[in-house]
Chains A and B, each alone.
Chain A
């Protein structure tokens, strides 16, 4: 049954690393703005390309 102990510890560590990743993402400001990035990702051309194309 000791394998369960190992599994439990591993599962807690895995879940803990997700928690840590979540905390880091909040700290980096990913949750400060939950709207603008959804619009920003649709802008495909950057300005310099735009100037030279056509």
Chain B
């Protein structure tokens, strides 16, 4: 048994009675303890016990409070669908008589301790043979013996220790992606090898200015160069040809077209020179360009593997559901659900299709759909929309619409949703590269005409030399390295962009649309005000009762009391929670009730507005806790700055207009504010905004209800309090703590565009020098071979330094 003393490095404020949970770090009281450590709940303590029994306490030594809060026990049947052979077959990547292999995506993975624990799973469950994590992709690869354990047991273990895998049945795409990225390394490796050898073999040529005394050596070097250039041209550069060809087929001259043309001409002229014995060719410059550009692409495309930006509703929904057929419960997949099927939905499970409640106490949390986090009670016969979560006991429902025809999923069937694919937005690099190509062709033609009159034998050399030296590769390089570096700076500040083109779209934004709940306000924090008087003992009683309750408002009150006063959870007798109403129990023999106005006082709550939790002790109403939305830090500041920078702001909320007055204090008079907006309303609002002319719209939203608007906008940013959680399909994911930096993010995007333009001017200067040699038909391989790397290196270092300075200035 390893020694597990309470770590002294943990900073504890002696004045406060609250401690951090040893497992998950949540602040808690000292009522649950084990081995001298305190825990916030029994779930965390159980996990600690399991790890301790298996000698895995190292988990707590590698990082402070690494655990993930256990959210109560999941229903025993939750993973029953993993016993169905078709699901097993789909998920396993390999299986033989002895073992099966599977890869899971674990969104909760976040620290070194996670890696350590997940790679030591075999110590907890003997059937697991081997496990290996990929931290950046947040994946774990598990090989297990299916005679000793099962897929379901492995998943249940993962879920128990806090790492519930996000299982999707369309994993094929992820596998494909992995292969593509390996291909990129092969290509860079091959071109790197060829480039360095070609350079080495070209040196004699440079220093003897074309006159190598020994004829055989000269021939050997030149032919070896030709041989080494073949894989560069046919293998490593193939992406440029493919992309240019695809562009031409769509009658669109993209940036790869002039590059492909340049590579093609360099290669063919060099081959001609070598075979005709007239020169050494420009293989060194050609392989150099290809190497630089491939490296640039790799740098830029190193995006966030662990995020998914293209989720549709299917990834929110459970994969398996319990169906009731002839009185027996059977596990089934979601896609097999038909109209009039009966289903069972348990605590914390999602309702997959619009259904009618048949039996059970439904307490429905619509936060996924509307962002509203107060659960509502539903009666028998009520319609419950898909996407809602059940809290409390299990309920039985009758499906009235299939999964993809339900209210929330209909958004995805809407044609508007796919009509405006964002790929249609062209990068500003492309038109510029077009001008560049046009000017270049004109210069080459002029040089050709001049030499046609002056000295016809120089016509071909002059034209080809112009095309070789004035390759637009520096244009491409400046953009790839600028955006690549900016993506890293954004990532450092917790704004994760889908790809580099999003930066250009950000630079064009002039209208910003905000969602209210969850975007401007905290989802798991609120401003709580106690209206009424409670003694210290009564506070403790309310705290104890709130600790037992599963309702989100109870959790808020519990945290509020913990922060404000020194409370300690007391045993609650006769605890009873009525879904959607409140909780009651006896503490030290005194009856305590917390809950809705109706539940506690017996009177109807006439006022709308903020949520209220009433308190009664010994049947005397003591007052209530008013719970207001709490706006994120820095929101006011950000709004003021954005208005100052001339952006038009808009606010769309799914909530009622109770907060309108408060919001007016933030936003100026001109800001349109719309309340009670359905997901479709939000989508249409953005669509209209875009159609009114020059508006380029940035949308910030969080829930599934914003998914349509996020997709419809020019840039959709999903705000998330926990970036390991699911977010709707979007162009970028922003950690909610950084919402206040929106202004800096936008101005950085503008700066990026200016940096690209500045670096283009530098590259055009280089091109002038090169062209002046080329049009005089004086371009020697030596000049080409120095000019190109020097220009590339200047540009790469310029943009790297410039983007870093721009980021520092904006506090990024």
A36 near B136 with CB under 8 A, answer: yes
Residues of B within 8 A of A8 (CB): 201, 220-221, 224
4 more A-B residue pairs beyond the given contacts A8-B220, A11-B197, A43-B62, with a C-beta to C-beta distance below 8 A: A22-B189, A26-B189, A32-B182, A36-B115
Pick the residue among A12, A35, A45, A54 that contacts B135 (CB under 8 A). Answer: A35
A15 near B193 with CB under 8 A, answer: yes
Residues of A within 8 A of B200 (CB): 11
Is A19 at the interface (CB under 8 A from chain B)? yes
A47 and B197 in contact, given A5-B220, A12-B224 (Cβ under 8 angstroms): no
A19 near B136 with CB under 8 A, answer: no
Residues of A within 8 A of B57 (CB): 50
Is B20 at the interface (CB under 8 A from chain A)? no
Is B133 at the interface (CB under 8 A from chain A)? yes
Question: How would residues 180 to 192 of chain B score, 1 for a CB under 8 Å from any chain A CB and 0 otherwise?
Answer: 0110011001100
**Max chain B Cβ within 10 angstroms of own Cβ: one of A8, A16, A34:** A8
21 contacts between A and B (CB under 8 A): A4-B217, A5-B217, A11-B197, A16-B193, A19-B189, A31-B185, A32-B178, A33-B136, A36-B115, A36-B133, A36-B134, A39-B112, A42-B112, A43-B115, A43-B116, A47-B55, A47-B58, A47-B120, A50-B2, A50-B55, A54-B2
B1 near A1 with CB under 8 A, answer: no
Is B559 at the interface (CB under 8 A from chain A)? no
Residues of B within 8 A of A1 (CB): 214, 216-217
Is B633 at the interface (CB under 8 A from chain A)? no
A13-54 CB contacts (< 8 Å) to partner B? 15-16, 18-19, 22-23, 26-27, 31-36, 39-40, 42-43, 45, 47-48, 50-51, 53-54
Pick the residue among A5, A15, A22, A50 that contacts B197 (CB under 8 A). Answer: A15
Is B8 at the interface (CB under 8 A from chain A)? no
A54 near B1 with CB under 8 A, answer: yes
Residues of A within 8 A of B185 (CB): 26, 31
B186 near A26 with CB under 8 A, answer: yes
Pick the residue among B54, B135, B221 that contacts A39 (CB under 8 A). Answer: B135
A36 vs B140: C-alpha distance in the bound complex, in angstroms? Answer: 11
A45 vs B627: C-alpha distance in the bound complex, in angstroms? Answer: 49
Residues of B within 8 A of A40 (CB): 115, 119
Residues of A within 8 A of B134 (CB): 32-33, 36
A45 and B220 in contact, given A36-B135, A40-B115, A51-B1 (Cβ under 8 angstroms): no
Is B56 at the interface (CB under 8 A from chain A)? yes
Is B15 at the interface (CB under 8 A from chain A)? no
Is B379 at the interface (CB under 8 A from chain A)? no
B302, closest chain A residue (CB):
A34
How far apart are B221's CB and chain A's nearest CB, in angstroms?
8
B1-51 CB contacts (< 8 Å) to partner A? 1-3
A50 vs B119: C-alpha distance in the bound complex, in angstroms? Answer: 15
Question: How would residues 696 to 735 of chain B score, 1 for a CB under 8 Å from any chain A CB and 0 otherwise?
Answer: 0000000000000000000000000000000000000000
Residues of B within 8 A of A53 (CB): 2
A11 vs B2: C-alpha distance in the bound complex, in angstroms? Answer: 55
B58 near A45 with CB under 8 A, answer: yes
How far apart are A28's CB and chain B's nearest CB, in angstroms?
10
A33 vs B495: C-alpha distance in the bound complex, in angstroms? Answer: 22
- Size category of the binding interface on chain B: 35 or more
How far apart are B179's CB and chain A's nearest CB, in angstroms?
10
Question: How would residues 52 to 70 of chain B score, 1 for a CB under 8 Å from any chain A CB and 0 otherwise?
Answer: 0011111000100000000
A31 near B55 with CB under 8 A, answer: no
How far apart are A26's CB and chain B's nearest CB, in angstroms?
5
How far apart are B102's CB and chain A's nearest CB, in angstroms?
17
Pick the residue among A5, A22, A32, A50 that contacts B58 (CB under 8 A). Answer: A50
A21, closest chain B residue (CB):
B189
B137, closest chain A residue (CB):
A33
Is B656 at the interface (CB under 8 A from chain A)? no
How far apart are A53's CB and chain B's nearest CB, in angstroms?
7
Is B149 at the interface (CB under 8 A from chain A)? no
By Cβ-Cβ distance, the 8 closest A-B pairs, closest first, are A51-B55, A19-B193, A36-B135, A33-B134, A47-B123, A26-B185, A22-B189, A54-B3
A45 vs B123: C-alpha distance in the bound complex, in angstroms? Answer: 13
How far apart are B242's CB and chain A's nearest CB, in angstroms?
21
A38, closest chain B residue (CB):
B135
B55, closest chain A residue (CB):
A51
A31 and B217 in contact, given A19-B190, A54-B2 (Cβ under 8 angstroms): no
A27 and B182 in contact, given A8-B220, A47-B120 (Cβ under 8 angstroms): yes
A12, closest chain B residue (CB):
B197
A3 vs B166: C-alpha distance in the bound complex, in angstroms? Answer: 62
Residues of A within 8 A of B578 (CB): none
How far apart are B771's CB and chain A's nearest CB, in angstroms?
34
Pick the residue among A18, A39, A51 that contacts B193 (CB under 8 A). Answer: A18
A31 near B182 with CB under 8 A, answer: yes
B54-88 CB contacts (< 8 Å) to partner A? 54-58, 62
B207-239 CB contacts (< 8 Å) to partner A? 214, 216-217, 220-221, 224
Residues of A within 8 A of B55 (CB): 47-48, 50-51
Question: How would residues 653 to 681 of chain B score, 1 for a CB under 8 Å from any chain A CB and 0 otherwise?
Answer: 00000000000000000000000000000
Residues of A within 8 A of B217 (CB): 1, 4-5
Is B196 at the interface (CB under 8 A from chain A)? yes
A5 vs B2: C-alpha distance in the bound complex, in angstroms? Answer: 64
A35 vs B112: C-alpha distance in the bound complex, in angstroms? Answer: 11
Residues of B within 8 A of A18 (CB): 193
Residues of A within 8 A of B216 (CB): 1, 5
Question: How would residues 427 to 459 of chain B score, 1 for a CB under 8 Å from any chain A CB and 0 otherwise?
Answer: 000000000000000000000000000000000
B4, closest chain A residue (CB):
A54
Residues of B within 8 A of A35 (CB): 135-136
A33 near B135 with CB under 8 A, answer: yes
B3, closest chain A residue (CB):
A54
Residues of A within 8 A of B220 (CB): 5, 8
A1, closest chain B residue (CB):
B214
Residues of A within 8 A of B112 (CB): 39, 42
A32 vs B141: C-alpha distance in the bound complex, in angstroms? Answer: 13
Residues of B within 8 A of A15 (CB): 193, 196-197
How far apart are B135's CB and chain A's nearest CB, in angstroms?
4
A19 vs B190: C-alpha distance in the bound complex, in angstroms? Answer: 7
A23 and B189 in contact, given A1-B214, A53-B2 (Cβ under 8 angstroms): yes
Residues of B within 8 A of A32 (CB): 134, 178, 181-182
A25 vs B72: C-alpha distance in the bound complex, in angstroms? Answer: 44
Residues of A within 8 A of B190 (CB): 19
A23 near B136 with CB under 8 A, answer: no
Residues of A within 8 A of B189 (CB): 19, 22-23, 26
A51 vs B217: C-alpha distance in the bound complex, in angstroms? Answer: 67
How far apart are A36's CB and chain B's nearest CB, in angstroms?
4
Question: How would residues 115 to 147 of chain B score, 1 for a CB under 8 Å from any chain A CB and 0 otherwise?
Answer: 110011001000000000111110000000000
Residues of A within 8 A of B123 (CB): 47
A29 vs B181: C-alpha distance in the bound complex, in angstroms? Answer: 11
A5, closest chain B residue (CB):
B220
**Max chain A Cβ within 10 angstroms of own Cβ: one of B3, B62, B181, B197:** B197
B56 near A47 with CB under 8 A, answer: yes
Residues of A within 8 A of B62 (CB): 43
A8 vs B379: C-alpha distance in the bound complex, in angstroms? Answer: 85
Question: How would residues 544 to 583 of chain B score, 1 for a CB under 8 Å from any chain A CB and 0 otherwise?
Answer: 0000000000000000000000000000000000000000
B122, closest chain A residue (CB):
A47
How far apart are A11's CB and chain B's nearest CB, in angstroms?
7
A33, closest chain B residue (CB):
B134
A45 vs B119: C-alpha distance in the bound complex, in angstroms? Answer: 13
A35 vs B2: C-alpha distance in the bound complex, in angstroms? Answer: 29
Residues of A within 8 A of B197 (CB): 11-12, 15
